Amino acid sequence: QVQLKETGPGLVQPTQTLSITCTVSGFSLTSYYMQWVRQTPGKGLEWMGFIRSGGSTEYNSEFKSRLSISRDTSKNQVFLKMNSLKTEDTGVYYCARAWNYSSSPFDYWGQGVMVTVSS
Protein backbone atom coordinates (compact mmCIF):
# COMPACT_ATOMS: atom_id res chain seq x y z
CA GLN A 1 0.00 0.00 0.00
CA VAL A 2 0.97 3.66 -0.35
CA GLN A 3 3.21 4.89 2.44
CA LEU A 4 5.23 8.04 2.99
CA LYS A 5 7.54 8.67 5.92
CA GLU A 6 9.55 11.76 6.77
CA THR A 7 12.77 11.64 8.74
CA GLY A 8 14.59 14.69 9.99
CA PRO A 9 16.65 16.23 12.78
CA GLY A 10 14.01 17.42 15.23
CA LEU A 11 16.07 20.36 16.49
CA VAL A 12 17.92 22.83 14.29
CA GLN A 13 19.77 25.96 15.32
CA PRO A 14 18.84 29.34 13.84
CA THR A 15 20.72 30.19 10.62
CA GLN A 16 21.46 26.50 10.02
CA THR A 17 20.14 24.24 7.24
CA LEU A 18 17.20 21.86 7.58
CA SER A 19 17.36 18.53 5.76
CA ILE A 20 14.38 16.17 5.65
CA THR A 21 14.01 12.90 3.75
CA CYS A 22 10.68 11.48 2.61
CA THR A 23 10.84 7.75 1.88
CA VAL A 24 7.93 6.35 -0.09
CA SER A 25 6.64 2.91 -0.95
CA GLY A 26 3.74 1.48 -2.91
CA PHE A 27 4.12 3.79 -5.90
CA SER A 28 6.72 5.27 -8.23
CA LEU A 29 8.12 8.79 -7.89
CA THR A 30 8.20 8.97 -11.68
CA SER A 31 4.40 8.80 -11.84
CA TYR A 32 3.40 11.39 -9.24
CA TYR A 33 4.19 14.89 -8.08
CA MET A 34 5.70 15.01 -4.59
CA GLN A 35 4.83 17.98 -2.43
CA TRP A 36 6.23 19.52 0.72
CA VAL A 37 3.80 21.21 3.08
CA ARG A 38 4.51 22.58 6.51
CA GLN A 39 2.22 23.45 9.41
CA THR A 40 3.33 26.21 11.75
CA PRO A 41 1.60 27.91 14.67
CA GLY A 42 1.89 31.25 12.92
CA LYS A 43 0.72 30.45 9.39
CA GLY A 44 -1.06 27.11 9.54
CA LEU A 45 -0.71 24.85 6.51
CA GLU A 46 1.67 26.26 3.89
CA TRP A 47 2.63 24.72 0.58
CA MET A 48 6.38 24.89 0.12
CA GLY A 49 7.02 23.31 -3.26
CA PHE A 50 6.95 20.18 -5.35
CA ILE A 51 9.01 17.98 -7.61
CA ARG A 52 7.22 16.77 -10.70
CA SER A 53 7.16 13.20 -11.91
CA GLY A 54 9.71 14.22 -14.54
CA GLY A 55 12.04 15.74 -11.95
CA SER A 56 11.55 19.49 -12.41
CA THR A 57 10.66 21.60 -9.40
CA GLU A 58 8.44 24.51 -8.45
CA TYR A 59 8.66 26.50 -5.25
CA ASN A 60 6.51 28.86 -3.26
CA SER A 61 8.07 32.31 -3.66
CA GLU A 62 7.91 32.63 0.14
CA PHE A 63 10.73 30.05 0.33
CA LYS A 64 12.25 30.15 -3.12
CA SER A 65 15.56 31.71 -2.19
CA ARG A 66 16.34 29.19 0.55
CA LEU A 67 14.51 26.00 -0.44
CA SER A 68 15.65 23.06 -2.54
CA ILE A 69 13.71 19.88 -3.38
CA SER A 70 15.35 16.89 -5.03
CA ARG A 71 14.91 13.13 -5.23
CA ASP A 72 16.62 9.80 -5.69
CA THR A 73 14.23 7.56 -7.60
CA SER A 74 16.44 4.49 -7.09
CA LYS A 75 15.95 4.85 -3.33
CA ASN A 76 12.32 6.07 -3.52
CA GLN A 77 13.31 9.18 -1.61
CA VAL A 78 12.49 12.87 -1.89
CA PHE A 79 14.58 15.49 -0.12
CA LEU A 80 13.88 18.92 1.30
CA LYS A 81 16.70 21.30 2.16
CA MET A 82 16.04 24.76 3.52
CA ASN A 83 18.76 27.11 4.70
CA SER A 84 18.91 30.18 6.90
CA LEU A 85 16.38 28.81 9.36
CA LYS A 86 14.55 31.14 11.73
CA THR A 87 12.55 30.45 14.86
CA GLU A 88 9.32 30.98 12.89
CA ASP A 89 10.22 27.95 10.75
CA THR A 90 9.34 25.78 13.74
CA GLY A 91 6.55 23.40 12.84
CA VAL A 92 5.60 20.06 11.36
CA TYR A 93 6.91 19.28 7.88
CA TYR A 94 4.96 16.90 5.66
CA CYS A 95 5.61 15.28 2.33
CA ALA A 96 2.51 14.49 0.32
CA ARG A 97 1.73 12.81 -2.96
CA ALA A 98 -0.27 14.43 -5.73
CA TRP A 99 -1.50 13.08 -9.03
CA ASN A 100 0.40 13.78 -12.19
CA TYR A 101 -0.74 17.34 -12.81
CA SER A 102 -0.20 20.59 -10.98
CA SER A 103 -3.80 21.23 -9.88
CA SER A 104 -4.37 17.84 -8.28
CA PRO A 105 -5.18 17.32 -4.58
CA PHE A 106 -2.73 15.78 -2.14
CA ASP A 107 -4.07 12.26 -1.77
CA TYR A 108 -1.55 10.73 0.62
CA TRP A 109 0.49 12.41 3.35
CA GLY A 110 3.34 11.29 5.52
CA GLN A 111 3.00 11.38 9.29
CA GLY A 112 5.10 14.55 9.41
CA VAL A 113 8.27 15.43 11.26
CA MET A 114 8.34 18.04 13.99
CA VAL A 115 11.14 20.56 13.56
CA THR A 116 12.09 23.01 16.30
CA VAL A 117 14.35 25.91 15.44
CA SER A 118 16.06 27.03 18.60
CA SER A 119 19.48 27.71 20.00
Spell out the SS3 assignment of the chain: CCEEEEECCCEECCCCCEEEEEEEECCCCCCCEEEEEEEECCCEEEEEEEECCCCCEEECCCCCCCEEEEEEHHHCEEEEEECCCCHHHCEEEEEEEECCCCCCCEEEECCCEEEEECC
Task: Name the residue nearer to other proteins (CB basis): 1 or 119.
Answer: 1
The single residue among 53, 82, 89, 112 that binds other proteins, judged by CB under 8 A, is 112
The single residue among 16, 21, 27, 58 that binds other proteins, judged by CB under 8 A, is 58
Within 60-99, which residues bind other proteins (CB under 8 A)? 60-62, 94
Shortest distance (Å) from residue 119 CB to other proteins: 27
Residue 46 near other proteins by CB under 8 A: yes
| Contact residues for other proteins, defined by CB under 8 A | 44-47, 58, 60-62, 94, 102-112
